[in-house]
Structure 1
Amino acid sequence: MKLSPVVLEDRFVRLEPFNAGLEDEMRAALDCDPEAWNGMVSAAYGEHFDSWWAAALKAMSVGSRIAYAVRRLSDAAVVGTTSLYEIKPEHRRCEVGSTFYRPGARGGPVNPACKRLLLGHAFDAGAVRVEIITDALNAASAAAIRKLGARDEGVLRKHKITWTGRIRDTAQFVVLDDDWPEVRRRLDARLETFA
């Protein structure tokens, strides 16, 4: 499995790997909705942005993460971020996540379009397992992951510590290469409803 930091695009979004030219747009896109950041391991709004941005670029430089700016094509606005991370070529697995969208980009085609592109990129590169995790308290996120067709693998207790210091249980989901054709079909059908 070899994942490359390339631009991924469909008719709804363009996922642009982080680079210095995106920093200001990313800062503006993420500087909102502080409560939504509370379940995340790190925050990227306001004063938290610089350290978050530096950590993302560092992870990209060692190949453990590909962080993307999410550009909505209908208005060319950067509306959030998502990543392929915990990239483990030797095990042909990675995670999709570290995702945040501005409130106005939630609930429409942006999230399923991003997941379709990221999952496709991972499986085309030879992945056999793609994990998607969320805070076990985030029922809306878990429901969205289930809607993608990911399989529920249970809860990892005391799995992570959020940036606020809360010890977090993590709900873990997975899409295997065997599952991908059906998940892809479901995502494509869902995205057709937004066409």
Structure 2
Amino acid sequence: MVLPVTPLENRFVRLEPFTAALQGEVRAALDCDAPSWDIMVAAGYGAHFDGWWRSALKAMEQGTRIAWAVRRLSDGAIVGTTSLYEIKPDYRRCEIGSTFYRPEARGGPVNPACKRLLLGHAFDSGAVRVEILTDAINPGSQAAIRKLGARDEGVLCKHKITFRGRIRDTALFAVLDDDWPEVRARLDARLAAFG
């Protein structure tokens, strides 16, 4: 499995790999909705942004993460970020995560459009497993992941620690290469409904 660091685009979003030229736009997109960051392992808003940004670039240099800025094509605005990370070529697996969208970009086509691109990129590159993890206390995120058709694989207890210091249980989901045709069809149908 080799995951190229490349832009990904469909009719709703363009995912642009992090570069220095995007730093200001990404900072502006993430500097909002502080309460939503409280359950995250790492925060990317306000004074937390610089360390978060450096960490993302370092992981990209090491080949363990591809971080993308999410550009909404309807208006050209950067409305969030998402990543493929924990990239394990030997095991042909990775995770989707470090996802944050501005409040006005939630609930529409942005998230399913991003998931369609990320999953397609991973499976087209030879992945056999893509994991999606979320905080066990985040029912909205879990519902969105289930809506994709991902397998619910349970809860990893005391799995991570949030940037606020709370010991976090993590809900684990996965899409396998065997699942991808059905998941892809569901995503394509959802996106087609947006016209």
Aligned residues: 195
Aligned counterparts of 1:159 and 1:38: Cα–Cα separation in 2 = 16
Alignment of 1:121-160 (within 5 A): 121-160=121-160
Deviation of 1:151 after TM superposition, in Å, equals: 0.6
Gaps (5+ residues) in structure 1? none
Aligned counterparts of 1:85 and 1:170: Cα–Cα separation in 2 = 16
After superposing on structure 2, the runs of 4+ consecutive aligned residues of structure 1 that deviate more than 3 Å are none
Write the letter of the residue equivalent to 2:12: F
Report the equivalent of 2:111: 111
TM norm structure 1: 1.00
Cα RMSD for the two superposed structures:
0.3
Aligned counterparts of 2:149 and 2:82: Cα–Cα separation in 1 = 18
Q: Deviations over 1:74-132 (max 9, x none)?
A: 00000000000000000000001110000000000000000000000000000000000
Report the equivalent of 1:79: 79
Alignment of 1:6-155 (within 5 A): 6-155=6-155
Gaps (5+ residues) in structure 2? none
TM norm structure 2: 1.00
Deviation of 1:9 after TM superposition, in Å, equals: 0.1
Write the letter of the residue equivalent to 1:155: V
Q: Secondary structure of 2:42's match?
A: coil
Deviation of 1:14 after TM superposition, in Å, equals: 0.1
Write the letter of the residue equivalent to 2:40: M
Write the letter of the residue equivalent to 1:152: D
Deviation of 1:40 after TM superposition, in Å, equals: 0.7
Q: Share of identical aligned residues, percent?
A: 76
